[in-house]
Chain A
Amino acid sequence: MSPQRPAASAAATETQLIARAQQGDEEAFAALFEAHKRRVYSLCLRMLGNPTEAEDLTQEAFLQLFRKIATFRGESAFSTWLHRLSVNVVLMHLRKKGLNQISLDETENSQGEPIKRDYGDDDRRLVGSIDRIGLNRAIAELPPGYRTVFILHDVEGYEHNEIAEIMNCSIGNSKSQLHKARLKLREWFQQHQSPQGRRSPAHVAREAREEQ
């Protein structure tokens, strides 16, 4: 019961802020920005891989939000509304840039070669943990469709039904794209690790035993 209380309180506070922002209250605008800026900016940054563009689109997303806030009636969660809007802002931007980023249904067969796995013995495990810098680079190099669904699902924590709604695609498509994105990321790490760095599963298992 107690964990729900702060959430309910936060929601009530946000509802009050929205009501004040609808009246043009500057402090309410600032508070809403403060509450959501990191998530929106991080989303933009990861989807674009460019801080300047991420700043511009964060700004654009919030401006669109504040311009439309008078129409917000609370049917959906405010954060859902904001993040969907942010994703759309980024997608529109990518489309304007001419990148192949429209919807997942359209990109189903356009994300490059299907990922085939070699079942041979050289399919060794990646070394150590996946570092943050490498992962950001790998995400940035994903095809836009894969990147979007991976960020939304595995980084931002969206469910497939939400992604399907945001991306205007089927749930099955979202799942399929996500799996391909994960395989692509693994492939990226395999290609960017030095051969010396690769260890056999037996080696990894032995290390694990030694650590215990």
Chain B
Amino acid sequence: MAEERQKQTGSFGCREFDTNLPAYLEGDKSPDIRMHAEQCSSCGSLLADIDSILVAARDLPMESPPPRVWSNIRATLAEEGLIREREGFWRRWTSSVSLVPRSAPAAALAFALVLAVIMVFKGDIQKNGNRNPGLSPATISNTVPVGLLGVQSNLAQTVKEMEENYRLHEASLDPSAKLVHRAGLTSLNNSIQECLDSLEKQPHNTLVRDYLMQAYAQKAEVLASALEYGGR
């Protein structure tokens, strides 16, 4: 029968078809294969079936693993210490805020450290309820300004609380150190006030906001340093 078929389709028979079919399916579109497939029902069926299989294979849908797969992966990564601890709000904030100028990496590092100190002191303040209810507002140089964005307002509030704490401990500080801290705080308070004045006129000036945040951060650094010194 094969010989008959070979004769029917000329020199390109079923055996040649079989030999050349893989290359044809790989893209070598030899007309001999197609012509033979049209004349030979057996080879035509084979070619059509393989085409159908290839179409179906390409259309097989992808499936999603159940959620527990990620849960297990995540748990293992955490167990092996491959996942870094999630950054806290302040660290994420400091990495995203645009400070101008930002030319000195050391300053950025110092700023991050200051914020870490802020968090510690803020925690102490909140935990110990260390506020003096009799403290006169007049002793606080800065109130939290209205109109600051959420993050800025949080920082201003924290600095305010640090300052309250500082006032409580100021009397026990070394007089010479107190002078130095006061001078620094006065200068920074002036800078903050200038920024706030500017923001009143230009509420959308991001550069002024950045300078304001820098001033608050520097003030926090001075206060943290003073509180640390006083605590010794």
A residues apposed to B, CB below 8 Å: 23-26, 29-30, 33, 37-39, 41-42, 45-46, 54-55, 58-59, 62-63, 66-67, 117-121, 123-126, 129-132, 135-136, 150, 154-155, 157, 160, 175-176, 178-179, 182-183, 185-186, 189, 200-202, 204
- Residue pair B82, A66 in contact (C-beta under 8 Å): yes
Q: Say yes or no: A154-B62 contact (C-beta < 8 A), given A120-B42, A126-B52.
A: no
**Which residues of B are found within 8 Å of A58, using beta-carbon distances?**
65, 69
Query: Which one of B18-26, B100-108, B174-182, B186-194 is at the interface?
Result: B18-26
Contact of B64 among A26, A37, A186 (CB under 8 A): A37
- Give A205 to B109 CA distance when docked, in angstroms: 77
- Give A121 to B62 CA distance when docked, in angstroms: 38
Q: Say yes or no: A38-B62 contact (C-beta < 8 A), given A29-B74, A58-B69, A125-B45.
A: yes
**Which residues of A are found within 8 Å of B63, using beta-carbon distances?**
38, 41-42, 45
- Give A33 to B64 CA distance when docked, in angstroms: 11
Chain B count of residues within 8 A CB distance of the other chain: 45
Name the residue in B50, B62, B66, B80 with the highest tally of chain A Cβ atoms < 10 Å from its Cβ.
B62
- Residue pair A66, B77 in contact (C-beta under 8 Å): yes
Query: Which one of B53-61, B123-131, B135-143, B159-167 is at the interface?
Result: B53-61
- Residue pair A26, B49 in contact (C-beta under 8 Å): no
Contact of A123 among B45, B54, B62 (CB under 8 A): B45
Q: B76 contacts the other chain (Cβ, under 8 Å)?
A: yes
Between A and B, 26 residue pairs with Cβ closer than 8 Å are A24-B82, A24-B84, A33-B70, A37-B69, A39-B62, A41-B62, A41-B63, A41-B64, A42-B62, A46-B60, A54-B65, A55-B69, A59-B69, A66-B73, A119-B1, A121-B42, A126-B49, A129-B56, A132-B60, A135-B57, A135-B60, A136-B60, A175-B26, A179-B21, A182-B25, A201-B45
- Give A118 to B68 CA distance when docked, in angstroms: 49
Chain B residue, CB-CB nearest to A176: B22
**Which residues of B are found within 8 Å of A119, using beta-carbon distances?**
1-2, 5, 14, 42
Chain B residue, CB-CB nearest to A27: B86
Contact of A117 among B22, B46, B48, B66 (CB under 8 A): B46
- Residue pair B69, A23 in contact (C-beta under 8 Å): no
Q: Say yes or no: A67-B60 contact (C-beta < 8 A), given A26-B74, A55-B66.
A: no
- Residue pair A41, B69 in contact (C-beta under 8 Å): yes
